[in-house]
Amino acid sequence: MKPIVIVNFKAYEQGTGEKAQRLSQICSEFGAWVAVQPTDIRLCAPHATVLGQHVDAEGFGAHTGSVLCEAIKQAGAVGSLINHAEKKMTDEEVGTRVLRLKELGMTSIVCAENLDRAQRLKQYNPDYLALELPELIGGDISIITAQPGIVKQAVELLGKNVLLGAGVSSGADLKQALDEGAAGVLLASAIVSKTDDPQSALRELYSKI
């Protein structure tokens, strides 16, 4: 089965506007999904499988500033990240957003900062649970290296719809995640902000599977 690899462009300059469009094309060459800012969804959707980085629970109406699930769907997104460490939510807020995405037939990727939180958020039946330790996000040590056994433990507790994130950057990281039963990985800086050659970085990421 093809791994789920999600490249989060965050709000990096290298992943904004026309640069986001080009980077999404590169990611698509490898089959990676991209999570982009709402303003870049229409630019990137013709080239790759696109996720929003955040959504709100409101529907159409007087909700100035809200990011509607309907709006990102119309722009071309297939789903959204929810509760990223840089956009935290309560459990209830996560649940309302998963439900709204489900109502629209969209994919929900719920992020959790530890296994205890992930187990709580599992009750909302998101399509994927992404385990990311906040202290490792953007760093040079991956969650898989920092906590040996974390993948198997996550799969045992949460099921096979688990993604591993935080510090993930290498083909060895992706291979180990897949070998131990995870669905894939979520990463950002290794592809977006820490390299001048994202194509080569992606090639290395996929090199061992």
Q: What is the pLDDT of residues 167-201, one digit of tens each?
A: 788 999 999 999 999 999 999 999 999 999 999 99
b/e map of 151-169 (b: 16 or more CB within 10 Å)? beebbeebeebbbbbbbbb
Structurally, how many domains does the chain consist of?
1
Of 5, 9, 4, 99, nearest to 52 (Cα)? Answer: 9
pLDDT in tens, 15-55: 999 999 999 999 999 999 999 999 999 999 999 999 999 99
In order, the DSSP letters of 161-185 are: -EEEESS--SHHHHHHHHHTT--EE
The reply to whether 47 belongs to the active site is no
CB 97 within 8 A of CB 79: no
Write the single-letter amino acid at 164. Answer: L
180 catalytic, yes or no?
A: no
88: Cα separation from own chain's centroid: 14
Q: Which of 47, 113, 132, 180 is catalytic?
A: 132
CATH of the domain at 44: 3.20.20.70
**Domain span at 84:** 4-205
Query: Which among 47, 84, 113, 180 is annotated as catalytic?
Result: 84
